[in-house]
């Protein structure tokens, strides 16, 4: 029980700074409908999604940096189990961000395919 309490306290302490320093980026609010969107709407969405992908990269880099700094700060103060727990939490947050980014980007890419198919059809191809 004492070990569990220590791990929970460590988790709470470790999670606090991550939320404060590493801001989880928001996905673009709207994915244009490729079957009706204008070229300008698609270009604006592409820019928004590129910015979002850059923000995800910055977020995961921040998680890695915070993790490394936490471990390097006083490695002797952390047990191996605590270090493993910090790594597990970092990996979980990293993977969740990547999974969400991939899912959101896949939805946008599907609309890009619809947009391109519509343009081709409109041009008679």
Tens digit of pLDDT for each residue in 16-46?
443 448 999 999 999 999 999 999 999 999 9
Contact 89, 120 (CB under 8 A): no
For the entire predicted model, the pTM comes to 0.76
- Locate the domains of the chain by residue range: 2-122
Residues 6+ apart with CB under 8 A from 60: 94, 97, 98
Model confidence at 98, pLDDT cuts 50, 70, 90, reads very high
pLDDT above 90 coverage of the chain, percent: 74
Q: Name the 3-class secondary structure at 63.
A: helix
Report, as an integer, the average pLDDT of 47-76. 94
> Cα separation of 51 and 44, whole Å?
11
């Amino acid at each position: 029980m004492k070990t569990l309490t220590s791990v929970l306290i460590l988790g709470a302490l470790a999670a606090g700074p991550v939320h404060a320093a590493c801001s989880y980026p928001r996905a673009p609010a709207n994915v244009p409908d490729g079957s009706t969107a204008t070229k300008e709407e698609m270009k604006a969405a592409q820019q928004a999604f590129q910015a979002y992908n850059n923000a995800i990269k910055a977020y995961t880099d921040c998680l890695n940096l915070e993790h490394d700094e936490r471990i390097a700060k006083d490695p002797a103060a952390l047990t191996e189990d605590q270090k493993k727990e910090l790594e597990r939490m970092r990996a979980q947050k990293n993977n969740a961000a990547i999974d969400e980014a991939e899912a959101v980007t896949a939805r946008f890419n599907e609309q890009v395919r619809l947009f391109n198919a519509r343009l081709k059809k409109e041009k008679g191809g």
